[in-house]
Structure formats: C-alpha cells, structure tokens
Amino acid sequence: MKSASATNACLAGGGYRVVWGAGLFALGRFADRVGLTEALSAAVPARGERAPVHDRGAVLAHALLVLASGGEACTDIECLRSQRELFGEVASDSTLVEVHSQNKQGAAANCKGGYGFHPMVCSTADGEPLWIKLRPGNAAANDIADHLEVLNAAVSMLPVPDAAGHCEGDDKRLAQRSLVVRIDAAGCSATLAQGLRDRNIGFAVSARSTPSIQAAIRGALGDPDRWHNSPQQRQRPKPGCAQVADLTDLPGWPEGTRLTVRREPLHPGAQRSLFPSENYRYWGFLTDQAGDTAQLDRLMRSHADVENAVCRLKDSGLARMPFTAWHANSAWAATAMIGLALVGWFQTCCSTGALRRAAPKRLRWQLWHLPALVCHSARRVLLRLPNSTPAPEHC
C-alpha cells in the first residue's frame, strides 16, 4: 500500500464565494457591538484639513484582529484586505524593506542573559490586562517608580466605582470596593508597600531573602505550634507536606504587615529558598491582609496565574516588536494588550466549553481561521460553516 498524506484532489481557482476568517469576522462584530471600534475612533480623532480615507478606529480594530489571528507585523493586515465581504474596506500597509545593522531603540541586555525589552504588565486576577509599560531591556525589575506608574494607570482603567478612593490623592472614604495587589519578589520594598497603603490598596508581595526575614524564620524553627498544614487544591491537608506559619511584623514595613512563610520538603531541582536548609524549601510573602494564614498562602500562590496572562500576551504580538522607533513599539505593545482584552471579553461573553479557556493558538486553529461560504437569503448575507468544523457547538 502506497503511503500518502492527502487525497488525490486537485487545486483550482474560481471559488469566489468562499471566504477565510469567519471566526475573526465574529470577533470584529463583537468589537463593534460592545462599542470598542467607536471608542477607538473617538480616542484617535482625525487631524488636519482633509479627513483620512479610513476611519482610524476601524484601522485599530483591524489591527486587533490581525494580532488575534497570529499577525506579527503591520503588513499582515493584507490578509484582511482580501476578505472584503467580511471586513469591508481595509487600510493597506506601505511595504517598505529596511536593511540595517542598528539596534532598535531601547533594546538592551537584560538580567537573564537575553537581549530585547523588559515590559511591566498589570492584570486582573482573572488575567485581563489593564496596563503595559514598555521598558528598555536593562530596566530594573524592582524600579519602584515604574511599579507605581503602572499601578496608577491600571487603577484608572477600572470602572469608576472600583477605582474610587484608590487613586493617588483620593479620599479613602470614597472607596466602595477593596483592592489588593499581588506582586512578585521584584516588588518586595517597604517604599512600594507604603505607596500602596497611601492609595488605600492592600498588598501581598513575595519575600526576598534578607537578614531580618532569615532571623524571623530561624526564631520559628523550634516552635512546631506555629506551623500549620497548608490545604491542597481540594482543601485536604496532608501531614508531612507543605506547612505555613504566620511569623511576625517586620521593622520598616507599614503597620500591620505580616510575614507568611511556607515550607515544603526539599526536592531535586527546587528553586532558591528564603532560608538555607537541607530538609525544606522556604518561600514567603508579606501582606497587610487579615485572615487565616493557610488561605492567604493559597491566595498568594494563585498569583502564578499571571504567568499565563504574560504568555498569552507574548503569543498575541508582544513577542515581536516590528519597529525601530521606541514610540512605535510602545504603541504596538499597547495594541497587543487591547487585542488580548478583546479576545478575553469575547471568550467570556460568546464562548462556552473548552473555547472559553482556550489559549491563543487553539483559538486560531479552531475558531479565527474558519472558512465559510457566502450566501444571500432574504436580503441578508449568510456565512455557512462547513459541517466538518471542529466543535462548532462550543462557540
């Protein structure tokens, strides 16, 4: 039997009624229905004596669709131009090819041995990006001014009732909802914690190994009553597994700051510990939140979900900075963030099942790149999907 990877079907032109990107069409319609396209048009008004050929809000909306479909450069918008039945008149990209050896503005060596940029991102607990600040590759991870700048911008993106009382200079009595910010060890700073306290925002910050923290852990080693079993994902504590302890306030930190330390049996390949030990790996965080120690530990460990948001952002255009100019790449990063938020809204409002939590790559293969047949019925344009569409009931 002769091996083959495809049938003997022949390729031919003339299928003018078949379109590509039916899923992207749904995403674009969703952007129009929620008012995003109109809001972008108002935010970027036309300047000059003559109106532009293409509405700027529509151009930005098309750019969001390009990023959702896996585009990595402005020239990728040409894929939408070939589908006028779905996306109308799409702006063209001036195709310029530059060959040069100069580095991009702001690109520099980073602390992990790579080369490029070092953006700072703030997102909600469910992964929706609120703000992104593009920074040079050699920018410090623990730059307090950058942390506070991103935080102020992210809070301003929240609905007014949620942001009230939490902006810089606001009266704390205006607060209608409490806010808590979780930050990795780069934000382990009493100055940053005080800045959050001044904004009436709670904090939970991963701890870094310091003499004061090591002294606090050392003082608790001989007191087994201070250590409690940490609940697992199903709330079933297992003796001999991870334990947590609420140690004490630390000098120099805002009043009421607690140091919560978690220890678990040392295993091969474990990451660096807060405290030197041959039996346990220690990890901890500082917080001003009240409550059970084990539950606070569980809340802080779920902060690892932010890595998923960063991965989705990188897979939605952030990993590719197509321009040389710094301001252009900053705009690209902001566009990637808006595009990821749009996709997240679509998944929440319009998708069910596996597609509601699907990663960008799966959405492209299973939804955005769907082909369809253009039909006309009762003065309406219909898009008929093939019966072989994978899991059509999930969107």
Split at pLDDT 50, 70, 90, the class of 53 is: confident
Structure confidence at residue 377 (pLDDT): 82
* Residues 250 and 293 reside in one and the same domain: yes
Split at pLDDT 50, 70, 90, the class of 196 is: very high
Structure confidence at residue 103 (pLDDT): 65
pLDDT, mean of residues 245-274: 82
* Residues 254 and 229 reside in one and the same domain: yes
Domain that holds residue 208: 108-307
Domain assignment present for 235: yes
Residue with the bigger pLDDT between 249 and 124: it is: 124
pLDDT over threshold 60, residue 240: no
pLDDT over threshold 70, residue 279: yes
* In the chain, % of residues over pLDDT 90: 36
Structure confidence at residue 1 (pLDDT): 60
Structure confidence at residue 223 (pLDDT): 83
pLDDT, mean of residues 344-373: 90
pLDDT, mean of residues 29-54: 87
Domain assignment present for 342: yes
CA–CA distance, 136 with 344 (Å, rounded to integer): 28
How confident is the model over 297-338, as pLDDT tens digits?
888 888 877 888 888 999 999 988 888 889 999 999 999 999
* Residues 286 and 348 reside in one and the same domain: no
How confident is the model over 156-169, as pLDDT tens digits?
999 999 999 998 88
The winner for highest mean pLDDT among 216-225, 242-251, 324-333 is 324-333
* Residues 91 and 112 reside in one and the same domain: no
How confident is the model over 164-186, as pLDDT tens digits?
999 888 888 898 999 999 999 88
* Residues 36 and 148 reside in one and the same domain: no
Number of domains in the chain: 2
* Residues 93 and 62 reside in one and the same domain: yes
Structure confidence at residue 395 (pLDDT): 45
Split at pLDDT 50, 70, 90, the class of 239 is: very low
Domain boundary at 307, 341, 359, which?
Answer: 307
pTM of the model as a whole? 0.83
pLDDT over threshold 90, residue 204: yes
pLDDT over threshold 60, residue 97: no
* Residues 79 and 127 reside in one and the same domain: no
* Residues 198 and 347 reside in one and the same domain: no
How confident is the model over 112-140, as pLDDT tens digits?
777 888 999 999 988 888 999 999 989 99
Asked whether 179 and 167 are in contact (CB, 8 A), the reply is no
How confident is the model over 366-375, as pLDDT tens digits?
899 988 888 8
pLDDT, mean of residues 151-158: 94
* Residues 260 and 358 reside in one and the same domain: no
Domain assignment present for 318: no
Domain boundary at 307, 340, 364, which?
Answer: 307
- 307-310 — which CB contacts under 8 Å span 24+ positions? 308/127, 309/121, 309/123, 309/127, 309/128, 309/129, 309/340, 310/121
* Residues 173 and 287 reside in one and the same domain: yes
Domain boundary at 248, 275, 307, which?
Answer: 307
Domain assignment present for 113: yes
* Residues 152 and 25 reside in one and the same domain: no
Domain assignment present for 6: no
Split at pLDDT 50, 70, 90, the class of 390 is: low
How confident is the model over 15-25, as pLDDT tens digits?
777 888 889 99
Domain assignment present for 354: yes
Split at pLDDT 50, 70, 90, the class of 389 is: low
* Residues 74 and 118 reside in one and the same domain: no
Domain assignment present for 72: yes
Split at pLDDT 50, 70, 90, the class of 274 is: confident
Domain assignment present for 321: no
Structure confidence at residue 238 (pLDDT): 47
pLDDT, mean of residues 40-55: 82
